[in-house]
Amino acid sequence: MIRILALSLSALGLVILQTSLVEFFTADRLSLEFTAVLVIYAALFLDTWTGAWLTILTGYCMDALISPIPGFYVLSYGVVFFALSSISNRVYSTNMLFLVSVTFLALLAEGIILVSIYYILYDMNVLATGLKVYLPQAFILGGLSPILYNFLRRLDRNGNGKREQQTQQP
Amino acid sequence: MSAPKQKKILIALVLFLLLTLAMISLHIRYPGSQEPLRQAILEIAAPVQSGLTATFGYLQNTWTEYLHLVGLREENRKLGKKIDELTNQLVEYREGHLEAQRLQALLAIRQDMKIASMAARVIDKSQATLFKTILLNKGTSSGIRAGLPVLSSRGVVGRVIETSPHVSRVLLMTDEKSNIDGLIQRTRAEGILQGNGSSGGRLKYVSNLEDVQAGDLILTSGLSGLFPKGLPLGSVTSVDEKADSLFQKIEVTPAVDFSRLEEVLVLDYRQKK
């Protein structure tokens, strides 16, 4: 229960920081969805239920704070999560090039999903805008992904260590 | 992949798809409906976002002022401390002065328009994403509701699409989902101004027979009843009269600089039924 609460608060905190600070530092010219990297990490390295919960929470917070249409980010993050989760056991790897490529492709896929939903629901082609937003983001976050995954792995390991210590205490 | 894990993923996937489709269907069926959880997240996040935006805005101003004064400080080392103090004061005063000027401009519009309105502060801008929206620090408790037009001292900003008790979300006119009825001030030719998803828009459905020139001012026509007539939307930057089309391709630059938006006016404008 505590873990779920902590995950929920962390997801909300990350989304707030992302929406406020990243756009401030990039002067509103670049969008960097660290939340998407978190979802990819969850799909590749966390257990299914924790990862799915984190994905839905993060997507929901993104929807609430950024998207005018509820469900956009939940759907795109969810599809990315389940697609990666289903292949994660077959192609487990910590190879840097593999992680960079997977992150790059997953971020592009997220953009394509969002553009497709827009097209299906509103019959509007926002591909040009989508490319402007998601292509630079996929390059930058793909390049940063080994560092980000390393950071998340340490966080996860710290959390697990503390939990194990708590359960071992009489 | 092991069978139990595959089963877990399948169950989670089905649950997740049901949840998402329900959310999207609900929104499409009842566009104005408010989700309590979504509102709660907005309410929780708004003060934090507002605080972060204000803090970083202040830091940015201080940093800019500091950069301007670096050369001067090197020449006047003895006065360095004094300059820093004065700079900080200057930043505060300048901020206050600029804010007063902006509010004065909004007040002038408010008095001219004779439509009830309320001023609100921008607490977050999401312009680098696919969606072009901003968050305001006022919501239903201040009388703001979905559909109300939003202005700055320079012209139309967009319209409110979602509200919670203390926060509201505005769809900017640059968003591709935004369509505003407009007319060209010089010729009175009417069209629909649709956002282009970046920093401007296109005036659509203006016949090839109409005379449109770069620099022409675009105003709201008031026909749809969403916006009052005569508010500045932007100006024409380029016109392309395609030989194979009935309509002209007109690119428009908004009157408002969305990157510098700090305070706005929400008009309590009743839609015509």
Of B9, B135, B197, the CB nearest to A86: B9
Which of A26, A66, A113 is most worth mutating to test chain B (most B CB atoms within 10 A of its CB)? Answer: A66
Closest CA to B175 of A40, A126, A64: A126
Q: Which of B2-16, B77-91, B99-113, B136-150 has the highest mean pLDDT?
A: B136-150
Segment B192-202 shows an average pLDDT of 87
Of A19, A75, A128, the CB nearest to B20: A75
Residue B201: phi, psi to the nearest 5?
A: -160, 180
- C-alpha–C-alpha distance, residues A84 and A36, integer Å: 12
Give the per-residue pLDDT at B273. 43
Average pLDDT over chain B reads: 82
Q: Which of A1-15, A154-168, B53-67, B139-153 has the highest mean pLDDT?
A: B139-153
State how far Cα B20 lies from the chain centre: 27
Chain A CB contacts of B177 below 8 Å: 68, 122, 124
Taken in order A112, A116, A118, A119, the sign of the CA dihedral is positive
Asked if the model's pLDDT at residue B5 lies above 50, the reply is yes
Closest CA to B127 of B255, B236, B261: B261
Closest Cα in chain B, distance from residue A95 (Å)? 20
Asked if the model's pLDDT at residue A165 lies above 60, the reply is no
Segment A26-44 shows an average pLDDT of 83
Q: Which tokens belong to B199?
A: 């920093």
Query: Could you tell me if B13 lies within 8 Å of chain A, comparing CB atoms?
Result: yes
Closest CA to B259 of A83, A29, A98: A29
Give the per-residue pLDDT at A158. 72
Closest Cα in chain A, distance from residue B124 (Å)? 7
- C-alpha–C-alpha distance, residues B178 and B190, integer Å: 17
- C-alpha–C-alpha distance, residues B225 and B233, integer Å: 15
Give the per-residue pLDDT at A170. 43
Query: Could you tell me if A31 lies within 8 Å of chain B, comparing CB atoms?
Result: yes
Of A74, A122, A133, the CB nearest to B177: A122
Give the per-residue pLDDT at B254. 92
Closest CA to B72 of B59, B62, B82: B82
Of A52, A65, A128, the CB nearest to B45: A65
Segment A37-60 shows an average pLDDT of 86
Question: Which DSSP category does A18 fall into?
Answer: I
Asked if the Cβ–Cβ distance from B125 to A27 is below 8 Å, we say no
Segment A156-163 shows an average pLDDT of 64
Strand partners, B195: B201
Q: Which of A65-79, A128-142, B89-103 has the lowest mean pLDDT?
A: B89-103
Give the per-residue pLDDT at A169. 47
